[in-house]
Amino acid sequence: MQILITGGCGFIGTNFSKYWLEKYPEDKIINLDNVTYAGNIDNLKEFENNENYSFIKGDICDKALVESIMKDIDIVFNFAAESHVDNSIKGPMIFTETNVLGTHVLLESARNNKIKRFIHISTDEVYGSIKNGSFKETDILKPNSPYSASKAAAEMIARSYNITFNLPVIITRSSNNYGPYQYPEKVIPLFVTNLIENKKVPLYGTGMNVRDWIYVVDNCEAIDFISKNGKIGEIYNIGGGNEIPNIELTKKILKEMGKDESFIDHVEDRLAHDFRYSVNCEKINKLGWKPRFNFNNALKETIQWYKANEEWWRKLKK
């Protein structure tokens, strides 16, 4: 198989590339990544001499480049995205350019080259916030940030290519991922690395906002599973089943790091801060997938990874 992974130098893309190269060593992978601030080419340095792995630095908005790559590809996994909500509030236009227009370029090239399967990686944030219950794949999308709006828009274009052109698209919507190689602007690596540096952790508002957490390897396995067992044209929620208020997550990290609550700095809340994300995962569960990793154990492993890889994240925080 010839696999195109877009955004393979980012957090989830890196972990997915490692996962695929190790599980399917006969497949050939092309990693197309623009290596923006959150991308790190060193993440996959161990595979640079692997004849079945190749890296191309480039923008998914570059039609000519995408077309030249897509000619021999069987499956596309589209991870490439601007993904930090705070950045989408400060500068939203790049989110539309990359997440919407970039996805459209990929879809059009995939259509031209009769790709066998196009797996579009989305987020539970497209649903918006929910106080009670959990979102199903058929629920109306009500994104509240420029980031989640751009991801919802990309999904709509992907869906249209399936309906209109019969492009074999599948969409996944995962909850908050955590694990190694996550850029230290996201809450878990930011808090862990701050505490290693003996700095306080900036917690939005009261910290009562609720998120569901999934270990990144679980998400990678789910995406692989869906690429083989999912139905064309369908959408699949991927959750970890680990809903927890941000304040409780913060306390877990503090305890693991041997710090007390004096290290919490309650900062002004984010604009339009979604209160709670929650996804119903019955659809993918019925197909036969469930997460493998225990939240507390995987969180401890994640913290240990950042402790053991200070060289990786220190240069990113400068």
Catalytic residue ranges: 124-125, 147
Distance, CA of 287 to CA of 167 (rounded, Å):
22
Which alpha helices (H) appear in 24-90, and where do they start and end? Answer: 63-70, 85-90
The sign of the CA dihedral 269, 92, 317, 46 is positive
211-245 as b/e: b if 16+ CB within 10 A: bbbbbbbbbbbbbbbbbeebeeebbbbbbbbbbbb
> Could you write out the three-class secondary structure of 128-159?
CCCCCCCECCCCCCCCCCHHHHHHHHHHHHHH
Half-sphere exposure (CA, 13 Å, Cβ side) for 34?
A: 16
